[in-house]
Amino acid sequence: MAFEFTDSNFEEKVLKSDQIAVVDFWAQWCGPCRAIAPIIEELSTEYEGSVLIGKVDVDANKELPMQYSIRSIPTILILKGGEVLEKHVGSITKQALQSKIDSHLS
């Protein structure tokens, strides 16, 4: 199951981690966000132990979207060691997201 990132746990779970993190910025009312939710869930299971995959509800967490200049959702960030490696705005297929994740694992 995808991890629930919040303004309060993001620094410890993502920024201070050596692990690659995939962060999906989403909202309940966003259709494209709901469309990619099953992909995020599947990948969180498939990459469990090697990549931390989770979501940030932009309605419940106001600091993180501002900090990362999130203007459209869904937006997916791939981070490692506090650094944004990649940013994708909009819908994405499972294969395309897997390819992005895998490119940072090698």
Question: 3-class DSSP state for residue 10?
Answer: helix
pLDDT for residue 1: 83
Q: What CATH number is attached to the domain comprising 7?
A: 3.40.30.10
Q: Please list the pLDDT of the chain residue by residue as tens digits (106 residues).
A: 899 999 999 999 999 999 999 999 999 999 999 999 999 999 999 999 999 999 999 999 999 999 999 999 999 999 999 999 999 999 999 999 999 999 999 7
Omega within 30 of 0 (cis) for the link into 74: yes
The range of the structural domain enclosing residue 93 comes to: 3-105
Which 8-state DSSP code applies to residue 77?
E
pLDDT for residue 57: 98
pLDDT for residue 26: 98
What is d(CA 39, CA 70) in angstroms, rounded to the nearest whole number?
20
Partners of 53 in the beta sheet? 22
Residue 25: in which H helix or E strand, if any? strand 20-26
> What's the structural domain count of the chain?
1
pLDDT for residue 106: 73
Positions marked catalytic: 30, 33
pLDDT, tens only, 22-52: 999 999 999 999 999 999 999 999 999 999 9
Q: Report phi then psi at 12, rounded to 5.
A: -70, -45
